[in-house]
Amino acid sequence: MFAKERLDDRFARLAAPRRFGRPEDVLVVGIYRDGEIIGRAVEELRRSHHRVTVRLGAMGDPVGPLADVTALSHLSRGKFQNVNDLLTGQEGHDWLLVIDDDVELPAGFLDVFIEVCRTYDFALAQPAQTRYSNANWPVTKRRSLSVARTTRFVEIGPVTGVRADAMQRLLPFPEALRYGWGLDFHWAHVMQTHGLRMGVVDVVAVKHVSRQVASTYSWDAAQEEGRAYLRSVPHLPTSVAARPLRVHRRPLSRRRPD
């Protein structure tokens, strides 16, 4: 497995774009309990050539190194309820990046992620998760020898990128959802209805390993909330999370126009 991971990383370095388009305005939001891992992610995101604004919310007291970007503290609501609060008054960005506090980003993440999304016209996207990550759905796991995959599904975490035109259709997030389960299958319906593309970016796979899914909340409560939510909204079936529509393998540095 370690050898396969190293091969994936080598392909990612060779296949990633070498040139990047105009800088975009990117709003990064996230909620944290422990600021160590998300602090490293913020440092990485700030190294991008894009114009990055960071607004974080703390479940407790703000962590020292993150104090300047912690807009809210002592939060007690669900993830997307808290994210809605962080988004209040934040309009006019080209991209929204929602990030969990237990994910490690590869070097150069944001520049490559946005360039790949531009190339394949992804309006809603996520980085793939490495082989050792706690991924829930098959399509979110990194695929070898793949730059990116066009999909019908993008998960609600651990990192989700939303382009401005998708923001108009997906925001604000549902206030009644504490855990967010099921939201991604409603997103799939909305994106399909409006003809907007979704994808998973393999060349900037992230490591999501520090916590098991539902380790900080009730699995049963999240499932029941998700089932109730999906009964109330149009959505696509869970089968859309099983496989991609198309795999893009040609390295971007050598890619010919479609």
pLDDT band at 57 (very low <50, low <70, confident <90, very high): very high
To which residue do tokens 């970007």 refer?
Answer: 69
Contact (Cβ atoms closer than 8 angstroms) between residue 56 and residue 71:
yes
Cβ burial of 230 (10 Å; 0-12, 13-18, 19+) is middle
C-alpha distance from residue 177 to each of 44, 125, 210 (Å): 30, 21, 24
Above 70 in pLDDT, residue 106? yes
To which residue do tokens 């991971």 refer?
Answer: 5
> What pLDDT, on the 0 to 100 scale, is given for residue 258?
40
Q: What is this structure's pTM?
A: 0.94
Which fold does the domain 2-243 belong to in CATH? Spore Coat Polysaccharide Biosynthesis Protein SpsA; Chain A (3.90.550)
- Please tell me the distance from the alpha carbon of residue 64 to that of residue 230, in angstroms, as a whole number: 40
Above 60 in pLDDT, residue 36? yes
Above 50 in pLDDT, residue 257? no
> What pLDDT, on the 0 to 100 scale, is given for residue 216?
60
> What pLDDT, on the 0 to 100 scale, is given for residue 161?
98
SS3 of residue 193 by DSSP: helix
Q: Which amino acid is at 187?
A: W
pLDDT digits (tens, 9 = 90+) for 156-205: 999 999 999 999 999 999 999 998 999 999 999 999 999 999 999 999 99
26-54 mean pLDDT: 97
Above 80 in pLDDT, residue 212? no
Q: Tell me the residue length of the chain.
A: 258
pLDDT digits (tens, 9 = 90+) for 126-159: 999 998 888 889 999 999 999 999 999 999 999 9
Q: What is the mean pLDDT of the chain?
A: 93
Torsion, CA 239, CA 244, CA 246, CA 249, rounded to 10:
-170
- Please tell me the distance from the alpha carbon of residue 177 to that of residue 104, in angstroms, as a whole number: 26
- Closest by Cα among 111, 161, 252, 140 to 207: 140
Contact (Cβ atoms closer than 8 angstroms) between residue 143 and residue 199:
no
